[in-house]
């Protein structure tokens, strides 16, 4: 069975690689030659917010701005952006439309739009670093713009920054219903015998698969090994033969010294999670007294919408990583990234809007008003905390809602959030990713 599984992975990886090579659409412009959009972005990266705003006013006054994103909140941020531009020029007017494609169709929509000489969409707010890297950036469909103020806030210079521009990091965290007797003191407890955590699944939301692939990176595999070392003898005895059985797979997949620990955790998770359609239903299940001893991995901010009643309460759950003595990963973090499209009809306005969202509190407020979403700009993140007080929002009444913040969540020995790395995910998507696909396939059978 083991040889059959790995052989299937390697064949699948080769097939996918050949298909990707045949179907890949590269930017037609010769490498190294700057397009008109590239030149605008380069110039825009040296400008202040006010300078960009004036360019946007000149370019888009009386026009319609089209944006597309995985988050619907772009529709809430655009009116505030228009108000900001009107504070500079009272006569400025701009209409807008914001689309949020469902079922991961955003990549198809952007690809189709990129075939036009001038596109419909000026910019995008998009998630899933793996597909962004391979389908959008490597092909030249999306362009990264780094606002000057954002770079300064992060002690960087725009021309030296490598990577995508994140608007925010969102976290999905391990939670469990605490009305029963089950204890989850270690991330391995969620994959221990008899556990079936609620999870959206690797096909429902692709960032969940990115999370599993990220576990094989040396840093996070090391965190899993350190958490395993803290287990009692009984639990170690359960996990040890599974880890040993995956040592050769870890070598064949080119993983580091602790790769087998990551593969064991992934295998047990995929084989046993209880698949749900969305994080909202997961939250609704876990906070009900009827969900005694159940656990899940879900967006932290879902706790904001829980309506207290006799049987439903935030106090019926615990955030696993907030418990004293909890060991191991507390969840995972993924980003919403901002890009200008390669054929943007309003590139200056797109750059100004991106700068507004990443460099001002009012621009980020649509996302920052809820816990569990962290601005990539440390100055804006602090302004949001000063305004909304997420760290004390639950008080003593609902301690699970007291967000400990990005730094705590990402520190080793604290929240230990596994952070999505688009390049790593794209590098292992045809090896580790295919290995996960086979696991999921056999589970479905």
DSSP line for 305-325 = G----SSB-GGGEEEGGGSTT
Q: Which DSSP helix (H) or strand (E) runs through 81?
A: helix 74-88
Name the domain boundary from 371, 390, 409. 390
Distance (Å, whole) CA 291 – CA 4: 38
> Which string of b and e fits 380-389 if b means at least 16 CB within 10 Å?
bbebbbeebe
Residue range of the domain that includes 420 = 2-6+170-328+395-444
Distance from chain centroid for Cα 169: 6
14 occurs within a structural domain? no
Distance (Å, whole) CA 342 – CA 110: 10
pTM of the full predicted structure? 0.90
Nearest partner of 266 among 190, 180, 176, judged by Cα: 190
Q: Which DSSP helix (H) or strand (E) runs through 52?
A: helix 49-60
Low-confidence ranges of the chain (pLDDT < 70): 1-32, 441-445
Residues 178 and 163 placed together within one structural domain of the fold: no
According to the 3-state scheme, what is the secondary structure of 337-374?
Answer: EEEEECCCCCHHHHHHHHHHHHHCHHHHHHHHCCCCEE
26 occurs within a structural domain? no
419 occurs within a structural domain? yes
Residues 131 and 185 placed together within one structural domain of the fold: no
Residues 117 and 152 placed together within one structural domain of the fold: yes
- How many domains in the chain? 2
CATH number of the domain within which 138 lies: 3.40.190.10
Distance (Å, whole) CA 7 – CA 1: 10
| pLDDT for res 159 | 84
Q: Is 1 exposed, middle or buried (0-12, 13-18, 19+ CB in 10 A)?
A: exposed
Neighbours of 76 (CB within 10 A): 14
Distance (Å, whole) CA 263 – CA 266: 5
Residues 206 and 243 placed together within one structural domain of the fold: yes
Distance (Å, whole) CA 168 – CA 162: 17
| pLDDT for res 32 | 58
Nearest partner of 405 among 327, 322, 324, judged by Cα: 322
Distance (Å, whole) CA 104 – CA 108: 8
Residue-wise pLDDT for 293-333, tens only, equals: 999 999 999 999 999 999 999 999 999 999 999 999 999 99
Token digits of residue 227: 């958490």
Question: In the chain, how many H helices and how many E strands?
Answer: 19, 12
Residues 373 and 228 placed together within one structural domain of the fold: no
164 backbone φψ class: left, alpha, beta (φ>0; ψ -120 to 50): beta
């Amino acid at each position: 069975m083991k040889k059959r599984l790995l052989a299937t992975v390697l064949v699948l990886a080769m097939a996918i690689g050949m298909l990707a090579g045949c179907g890949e659409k590269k930017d037609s412009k010769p490498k190294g030659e700057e397009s008109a959009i590239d030149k605008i972005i380069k110039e825009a990266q040296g400008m202040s917010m006010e300078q960009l705003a004036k360019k946007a006013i000149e370019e888009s006054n009386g026009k319609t701005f089209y944006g597309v994103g995985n988050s619907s909140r772009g529709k809430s941020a655009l009116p505030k952006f228009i108000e900001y531009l009107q504070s500079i020029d009272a006569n400025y007017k701009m209409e807008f439309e914001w689309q949020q494609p469902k079922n991961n169709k955003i990549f198809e929509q952007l690809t189709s739009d990129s075939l036009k000489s001038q596109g419909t969409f000026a910019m995008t707010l998009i998630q899933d670093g793996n597909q962004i890297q391979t389908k959008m950036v490597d092909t030249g469909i999306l362009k990264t713009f780094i606002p000057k103020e954002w770079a300064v806030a992060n002690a960087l210079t725009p021309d030296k920054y490598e990577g995508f521009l994140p608007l925010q990091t969102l976290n999905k965290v391990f939670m469990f219903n605490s009305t029963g007797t089950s204890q989850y003191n270690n991330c391995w407890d969620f994959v221990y015998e008899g556990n079936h955590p609620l999870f959206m699944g690797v096909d429902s939301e692709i960032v969940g698969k990115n999370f599993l692939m990220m576990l094989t990176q040396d840093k996070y595999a090391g965190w899993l090994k350190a958490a395993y070392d803290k287990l009692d003898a009984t639990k170690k005895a359960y996990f040890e033969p599974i880890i040993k059985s995956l040592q050769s797979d870890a070598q064949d997949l080119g993983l580091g010294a602790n790769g087998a620990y990551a593969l064991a955790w992934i295998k047990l998770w995929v084989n046993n999670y209880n698949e749900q359609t969305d994080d909202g239903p997961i939250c609704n299940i876990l906070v009900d007294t009827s969900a005694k001893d159940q656990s899940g991995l879900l967006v932290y901010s879902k706790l904001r919408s829980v309506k207290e009643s006799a049987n439903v309460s935030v106090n019926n759950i615990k955030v696993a990583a907030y418990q004293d003595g909890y060991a191991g990963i507390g969840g995972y973090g993924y980003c919403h990234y901002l890009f200008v499209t390669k054929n943007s009809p309003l590139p200056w306005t797109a750059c100004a809007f991106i700068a507004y969202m990443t460099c001002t509190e009012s621009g980020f407020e649509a996302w920052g008003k809820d816990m569990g979403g962290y601005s990539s700009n440390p100055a804006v993140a602090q302004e949001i905390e000063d305004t909304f007080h997420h760290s004390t929002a639950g008080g003593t009444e609902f301690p699970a809602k007291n967000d400990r913040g990005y730094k705590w969540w990402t520190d080793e020995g604290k929240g230990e959030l596994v952070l999505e790395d688009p390049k790593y995910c794209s590098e292992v998507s045809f090896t580790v990713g295919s290995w996960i696909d086979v696991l999921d396939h056999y589970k479905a059978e």
